[in-house]
Each structure stands twice: as structure tokens, then as C-alpha cells.
Amino acid sequence: MTNLKRRSFIKAALATTGSVAVSTPLQAMSRPELPSNVSFDYGVASGDPLQDAVILWTRATPLDANPTGPVKISWELAEDAGFTRVLRAGTVETDLARDYTSKVDVRGLKPNTRYYYRFSGANEQSPVGRTKTLPEDEVDQIKLAIFSCSNYPAGYFNVYQLAAQADDWDAVLHLGDYIYEYGDGGYATQNAAKIGRALPQDNSGEILTLTDYRKRYALYRTDAGLQALHAAAPFIAVWDDHEVTNDTWKGGAENHSADEGDFYSRRAAAVQAYYEWLPIRPPMGETNPQIYRSFQFGDLLDLHMLDTRVIGRDQQLQFANYMDEKGNFDTRAFSLDVASPSRTLLGEEQRKWLRKTLARSKGQWQVLGQQVLMGRMHLPVELMTSFYRGGDKNLTSELIGLKAASLRGEQLSEQQLQRLQNAVPYNLDAWDGYAVERETLYQEVREQGKNLVVVAGDTHNAWYNHLKDNDGRMVGLEFGTPSVTSPGMETYLKLDERSAKELARGMSVLVDDLQYCNLHQRGFMALTFRRDGIEAEWKYIDNIDSTEFAEVDSHRVTHKLV
């Protein structure tokens, strides 16, 4: 880091502390003065734990209809849930400029330690939250709960509620689509009114302004399951596209048009509201969209949270641009474009940072927490084009049958082989659309001899991939978490449960590196890291239409280090 760069870094770090109260030892046990009349309608949250620090969060809604000046509340952090051993306390101010949200960055804590915290106004106390600092030195086990894609109008956040019932998470990872930007009548809103999840009148359109984004976060935070999970464990979160708008890339988005105003102003509003409402410590301050950052869980794992969306992504390729009116696909032109060495998901700065950070990280496991699937998921072109027409069951079974036969060693005709080998990536919004950058990353990981684990969200379905380089060498493992409520492939392809299970089995046959997928259930993923291996468990619930739910299925895989 040059001096100049260091100075600007310090400036950025100071900018963070302008709006976030940082608790230092001097502040410890200071007497709260003049707490305001507030209500804590959105619960509490904690996040971005370090070995000696954690962010505490709440929103203090002023009860005075026309509040003037800032609102002041007090906070306490204790060793026990009954607050008989309060270790730290202080006051924090907030106001309309940050939507009455408050963050305290509590410092000077002990590693690998559970703490309890709460906020108080003059008249009311917040619920109690539970949090935990990261371990340092030797640690034998880390357990993470991993989520993505919670869409309020699509259903109740029972998946969060299920995870909140466990009390042994070291941290919760949220891989994005924490909110969705659509208005009434938009994506996944069909059942909303019927199940009591309609968007409120004052926030029922597509969100565009800072006020719109803030109200959307407030709405989502009324969900009991989400409040319970935030209160149960520290979050480590990144955004995906819908925290801004669908299919965001560095210069725009699929769901942003010129008549919706300047894209960068919208993005700045989205980023501001995200930082206000999430218990996060943005590495370059709260006005900078740089969100990528690392967490060290003792000597067992290093977690690198990436941004494959906002900061560096080149625009997605579109299959439609390679298809003629008759539905013929120009495989050659497409293959040339997708193999362009300049295409990037991360952007140059983030890629450099990741390379350096991976090189110096010594943990047994190197985990990339990010949005989109990294595994190679190529499907026969004719199957892909049929998906565009809503799917073709017979064709799907025929191709799966052919692939199964070839795997059994049966002789296929030249034409049959051609049908299987003429394959293209299924999802161009994922790493498959940026294949050269992925291969570069794989080679770096191989050269450095790291145990790579990638976690992904975004697709609404569950996946387990072997990550292999272009020469077929194993580079790592990928675990994809299903959505909390957003509809998955079963909805796009109008599959009933049996057909969705059948297709899931078929996909694992058709796609070489795919080991498991679930295409129809909502849930989350628990990953347990140990010194000699990993255990992944996908947990599924039975419904999202009411808050009465049950855990109905799970799937577990283990991977031992050799």
C-alpha cells in the first residue's frame, strides 16, 4: 500500500466511524443519558464478527410523530442472557439521515465467545440478541448456516425460523437477494394477497428511491422468522442482484430502464439502504459499494465474501442473441464470445485482492462466499432451447437416457454423441458465462495448493458440484443453497414434485460435475468444517404459505480430505 493509498484508506475508515458508533474501552460502562421514546419494531441483529469485535444493530423508531433532532438509545452487552454480568454498555444516536437505524461496533471482546446484547429507549427495551466472536488459533469445528433469496410476497420466511431454532451456528452467511425490488404484480407476487404477504400500499411499486428501498427493508424485517434468526447468530452478508435490481452488472441491469432515472443514483440508494439495515462493517465506509472482505475462523477456515454483481461484472451474454427465428442456435459464435479472455465477474481490483488474499491465507479451508454458481453446468443445446419453450419432457428423458447409456459404456452412434456433446452453459449469469476468469482462479488455487470450497445462492435450488479445471482436475467443491421462498426450477418448468425429482436425478446424469441437486424445495444449507473433512446438509421445509411449517426432508453429504 502506498502512502497515498494508505491515507485514503484511513480517510475511508474514519468515514465509517462517522455514522457507526465504535465502542472503545474508554466508552465502556458510560451512563446512558436522555434515552428517547422509541419502539424496536424490527428486532436486533449482529454481524461481521471478528476475534475481538462484532457489529450490533437495531432500528429505534421514534414515537414522537414529529421528532426533532437525533434519537438516543442505550445498549448493553453481557456474558449471560439475564444481563447479570454486563461487560460493556454505552449510548448511540441515530436520526432520519440513517433511517433511525443504529450500529455499534463493539471492540475489545474475547475470541470464540458468546455474548448477549440489547438496546433500551426511555420506555422500551429491545428483544435480546445472541452473538459470537470468531475463534483465533486452533479450532476443531466451525458450523455455518447459509441462505439466499428470501422474497416476501412469495411466502413466509419459515426457513429462517427453522435455522433460528438451533443454537450452535458460528455464523450465518447470507449470499444475497435478501430483498426483491419488484412491485405488485411483479415476479413471485401471485400468491401474496391470498397468504397475507401483499406489499403495503406505500411501497407497492418497484423500488427506485432511497425511501423505497428503506421501506422494503423495513417490510422484510417485520417477518418473525427473519427477526428470530438475526437475534440468534451473527450474520455475514453480501448482496446479489435484487438488493439493487434484477441481473445487475457494473454498468446497468436487466430490470433498469432509462425512464427509471440514472442507474448509478439508484444503485447508490440501494447500497445506502443495505448498509443501514444490515449488520455489516463495509470495508471502505458506508458510501463505498466495495463489499468484498475476509473473515478468519482461527486456523480452520478463511472466508472470503465476494461481490460478483455490483462492482466489476461485465454485462451478461444472452442466448436470444445467438438464436435465429427458427430457434437454431449459433454454437460457434456463442462459444467464441463466452471464451473471451477479457470477460470478468469480479473486476480487476477485486480479482487482484482475491489472489493476494488467498495466497496469504493459511486456514485449512479457503471458502468463497459468493452469489452465482461456479460449477460447470453445460446442457445439450437442444435441451436448452427446449427450456426456452417451457421444457419438453420427452426430449429431456431421451437425452438423459442417451447419457446414461454412454456412462454404462454402451456404444452410441455418431449422431447421438453429437447431440450430447453439442452442449452450452445453462446459466450465462453464473461463472459459466465468464469461463476464462474462472479457469484463471482455478489455476491460482491449484498452484497455491488450497482446499477450496465455494458457496453460492442465486438459483433458488440446491446444488453440489465438483469443481474441475479445463483438464478435468479436481480444484474444489461447491455447495449451492436453495432459496428461502423464491420459486425455483419447478416453477419455471411447471413441474410437479415427481417430475422435479426425476429431472434432478437426470441433471446429475447429464451434467458431469454435478453430484446432487434439488429442484423443488425451499430450505437452507448447514456446512460443518472439521480438520479432516466437511459435512454439508440441506434442510427443507414443507410450505411457505403460512407460519405453520415442518422440516420435512434433508440431504447430507460428507467429504473427507485425503
Q: Considering only 6-14, 110-118, 141-149, 378-386, which stretch makes contact with Fe ion by CB under 5 A?
A: 141-149
Residue 249 CB contacts under 8 Å (≥ 6 apart), including other chains: 309, 313, 314, 315, 316
CB of 457 to Fe ion, least distance (A): 7
Q: Residue 380 or residue 433: which is nearer to Fe ion going by CB?
A: 433
Interaction residues for Fe ion, span 484-543 (CB under 5 A): 486
List the grid coordinates of 469.
479445471
CA distances (Å), origin 234, targets 87, 134, 164, 403: 18, 10, 11, 44
CB of 148 to Fe ion, least distance (A): 6
Q: Residue 76 or residue 177: which is nearer to Fe ion going by CB?
A: 177
- The radius of gyration of the chain from alpha carbons, rounded to an integer in Å, stands at 24
Q: Residue 161 or residue 461: which is nearer to Fe ion going by CB?
A: 461
Task: Tell how strand 474-480 and strand 452-456 pair up.
Answer: parallel
Task: Tell how strand 378-380 and strand 423-425 pair up.
Answer: antiparallel
Q: Residue 177 or residue 302: which is nearer to Fe ion going by CB?
A: 177
List the grid coordinates of 434.
465468464
Task: Tell how strand 101-106 and strand 54-59 pair up.
Answer: antiparallel
Please say whether the beta carbons of 156 and 225 come within 8 A: yes
CB of 261 to Fe ion, least distance (A): 24
Q: Residue 149 or residue 367: which is nearer to Fe ion going by CB?
A: 149
Q: Residue 21 or residue 484: which is nearer to Fe ion going by CB?
A: 484
48 lies in the site for Fe ion, by CB under 5 A: no
244 lies in the site for Fe ion, by CB under 5 A: no
3-class DSSP assignment, residue 253: strand
Q: Residue 23 or residue 151: which is nearer to Fe ion going by CB?
A: 151
CB of 154 to Fe ion, least distance (A): 10
CB of 179 to Fe ion, least distance (A): 10
List the grid coordinates of 537.
446438509
Q: Considering only 63-71, 105-113, 170-178, 291-299, which stretch makes contact with Fe ion by CB under 5 A?
A: 170-178
Q: Residue 149 or residue 301: which is nearer to Fe ion going by CB?
A: 149
CB of 458 to Fe ion, least distance (A): 6
CB of 149 to Fe ion, least distance (A): 3
177 lies in the site for Fe ion, by CB under 5 A: yes
CB of 211 to Fe ion, least distance (A): 23
Q: Residue 286 or residue 478: which is nearer to Fe ion going by CB?
A: 478
Read out DSSP for 318-361? -GGGGB-TT--B-HHHHHHHHT-TT--SS-HHHHHHHHHHHHH-
Q: Residue 239 or residue 277: which is nearer to Fe ion going by CB?
A: 239
Q: Considering only 11-19, 149-157, 296-304, 553-561, which stretch makes contact with Fe ion by CB under 5 A?
A: 149-157
173 lies in the site for Fe ion, by CB under 5 A: no
Q: Considering only 74-82, 174-182, 447-455, 522-530, which stretch makes contact with Fe ion by CB under 5 A?
A: 174-182
Based on the number of CB atoms within 10 Å of its own CB, is 359 exposed (0-12), middle (13-18) or buried (19 or more)? exposed
Contact letters for Fe ion, residues 377-406 (x by CB under 5 A)? ------------------------------
Contacting residue, 139, 149, 452, 477, with Fe ion by CB under 5 A: 149
Sign of CA dihedral 396, 398, 401, 403: negative
CB of 181 to Fe ion, least distance (A): 11
CB of 427 to Fe ion, least distance (A): 12
Q: Which one-letter DSSP state was computed for residue 520?
A: S
Q: Considering only 92-100, 171-179, 181-189, 280-288, which stretch makes contact with Fe ion by CB under 5 A?
A: 171-179
Q: Residue 98 or residue 460: which is nearer to Fe ion going by CB?
A: 460
CB of 317 to Fe ion, least distance (A): 20
| Beta-strand runs (E) in 121-251 | 129-132, 141-147, 171-174, 235-237, 248-249
Interaction residues for Fe ion, span 472-491 (CB under 5 A): 486
CB of 10 to Fe ion, least distance (A): 37
Report how far residue 529's alpha carbon sits from residue 485's, in angstroms, rounded to the nearest whole number.
Answer: 26
Please say whether the beta carbons of 35 and 74 come within 8 A: yes
CA distances (Å), origin 34, targets 92, 146, 322, 390: 11, 40, 65, 61
Report how far residue 539's alpha carbon sits from residue 186's, in angstroms, rounded to the nearest whole number.
Answer: 28
Query: How many residues are present in the chain?
Result: 562
Q: Considering only 173-181, 419-427, 442-450, 497-505, which stretch makes contact with Fe ion by CB under 5 A?
A: 173-181
Q: Residue 248 or residue 486: which is nearer to Fe ion going by CB?
A: 486
Q: With contacts defined by CB under 5 A, how many residues of the chain interact with Fe ion?
A: 3
Please say whether the beta carbons of 155 and 190 come within 8 A: no
CB of 456 to Fe ion, least distance (A): 11
Q: Residue 181 or residue 478: which is nearer to Fe ion going by CB?
A: 181
Report how far residue 376's alpha carbon sits from residue 519's, in angstroms, rounded to the nearest whole number.
Answer: 17
List the grid coordinates of 63.
414515537
Read out DSSP for 429-486? TSGGGGHHHHHHHHHHHHHHT--EEEEE-SSSSEEEEEEE-TT--EEEEEEEPPBSSS
Q: Considering only 177-185, 288-296, 337-345, 369-377, which stretch makes contact with Fe ion by CB under 5 A?
A: 177-185
Interaction site with Fe ion (CB under 5 A): 149, 177, 486
